[in-house]
Amino acid sequence: MARSSTRPTSRDVAQAAGVSQAAVSLVLGGKWRGRVSEPTAERVRQAAQELGYRPNLAARNLRLGRTRTVLLVVPALTTEFFAGVYTGAARVAAQHGFGVVLYPSPQGVGPARDPFASAQAALDGVIASSMAADALSDILGDQLPLVMLDSDPAGSLGAATVNLDIADGVRQVAEHLLGLGHRRVLHLAADVPSWTFRVRARELAARLATVPGTEITTTTAPISIDGARAAVETALAAPGPHPTAIVCDDDKLAAGAYKALRRLGLRVPDDISVTGLDDLALGTAIDPELTTVRLDAELFGEHGMRALLAVLDGREPDSGDIPVHLVVRGSTAPPRDA
C-alpha cells in the first residue's frame, strides 16, 4: 500500500480498510471490543500502520475530557523489579494511546509530595504499589480511578487490585525445603508494613506447621544487603541449634544472608540452604546461584495497566492472581542431618 505524501486522515484509513470512520475511531480508541470483530480491528490497525496514520490525540483528549496520562506510584527504585513493572505498564499504555509517569516515593515508603499542581487535572488514573500506598493521600485525594498492586483485595483503596500469587510462591518454597528434609528454618522477613510481606509470613508459618517437628524462627531486616547481613549474624549468634535453611522475603535479603554466612565461616548450601523471592538479576550473580521464586514484573505491570483501562472504560477488570513459580538453583540442598 503506497503511503500518501500528505498527512493521512481517518477517512483514508477507513477507505483502505473498507470500514466506516466510526469503526476506525472505535478501533484506534481502544473501544472496539463487542462492536467490531477482531479481523476488522486488525485490518484497521494494519491500514493505519501502512498509511502512517496518527490520530489527533490532543483534539480527541479535549473532546473526551481526558489527559491520557497515568501515574505509576512505586517504592524507591532500589531494584529492577519496579522498573520491570513500569516497562510492562508503559507497553500496554502505548498500545492504547496513553503515557505513564513513573513516580517513586522518595523514601521507598511513606508520604510523597504531589508532583503535579493538580493531579486531578493532569491525570486520568493511578496505579500504585501497596508498598507506597501512603504516598496516595497527597497525590490523588479520593477522586482519581485507582488500581492497587500487591494489595489486600478485601481492604484495598482501589477500584481494582492486581496481585501476583505470592502465597503460592511461598508454599512452593516451603514444599521444596520440606522435601529436602529441612525442619529448622529461619525466616528473614522484610521490615516493611505491607500486605504482601504479611502474606509471606503467614503462608510460610502455615505450611511449615503442617509437618511435625518443624521449627521456624523469624528475624526482620530492612530490604538492604547490610541490614540483612546484620540481622542474620544476630540470629545465628543466639543459643541453640542453627537453622538448616533461611527463607528470605526478597533476593536482596538473600544476598545479605550470603554475606553473613560467609563471615561466619558457613557455606551455602553445605551448612545452610538459602532461598529468595523475586528472581532478580542479583540471584544469578551470587555464588552459588539463588533458589528463588520468579515474579514476572513486566506481566505484573501489564495486568495493572489493563485493569486501569478497564476501570476507565467502565468494564470489569480480569480477576485472578498472576501465577509465579520456583526456580531451583544451587543454594538449596538436603541438610547434613537429614
| For the chain, domain boundaries | 10-55, 67-163+297-321, 166-295
For the cut 70, the answer to whether the pLDDT of residue 258 exceeds it is yes
For the cut 90, the answer to whether the pLDDT of residue 139 exceeds it is no
Over residues 173-186, the pLDDT tens digits come to 999 999 999 999 99
More confident residue, 24 or 290: 290
| Strand ranges inside 81-158, DSSP E | 99-104, 125-129, 146-149
* pLDDT of 101: 87
More confident residue, 51 or 338: 51
Q: How far apart are alpha carbons 161 and 232 in whole angstroms? A: 34
* pLDDT of 110: 45
For the cut 90, the answer to whether the pLDDT of residue 301 exceeds it is yes
Cell numbers representing residue 139 in the block: 497525590
CATH number of the domain at 166-295, please?
A: 3.40.50.2300
Using a pLDDT cut of 70, give the percent of the chain over it: 83
Domain 67-163+297-321 has CATH 3.40.50.2300: yes
- In CATH terms, the fold of domain 10-55 is 434 Repressor (Amino-terminal Domain) (1.10.260)
Average pLDDT along the chain: 85
> 212 Cβ partners below 8 Å, 6+ apart?
none
More confident residue, 36 or 236: 236
pTM for the structure as a whole: 0.76
Determine the residue type at 229. R
For the cut 80, the answer to whether the pLDDT of residue 334 exceeds it is yes
Domains 10-55 and 67-163+297-321 agree in fold: no
Residue 315 confidence class, pLDDT cut points 50, 70, 90: confident
* pLDDT of 256: 97
For the cut 70, the answer to whether the pLDDT of residue 51 exceeds it is yes
Q: How far apart are alpha carbons 61 and 11 in whole angstroms? A: 19
User: How many Å is the Cα radius of gyration of the chain?
Assistant: 24
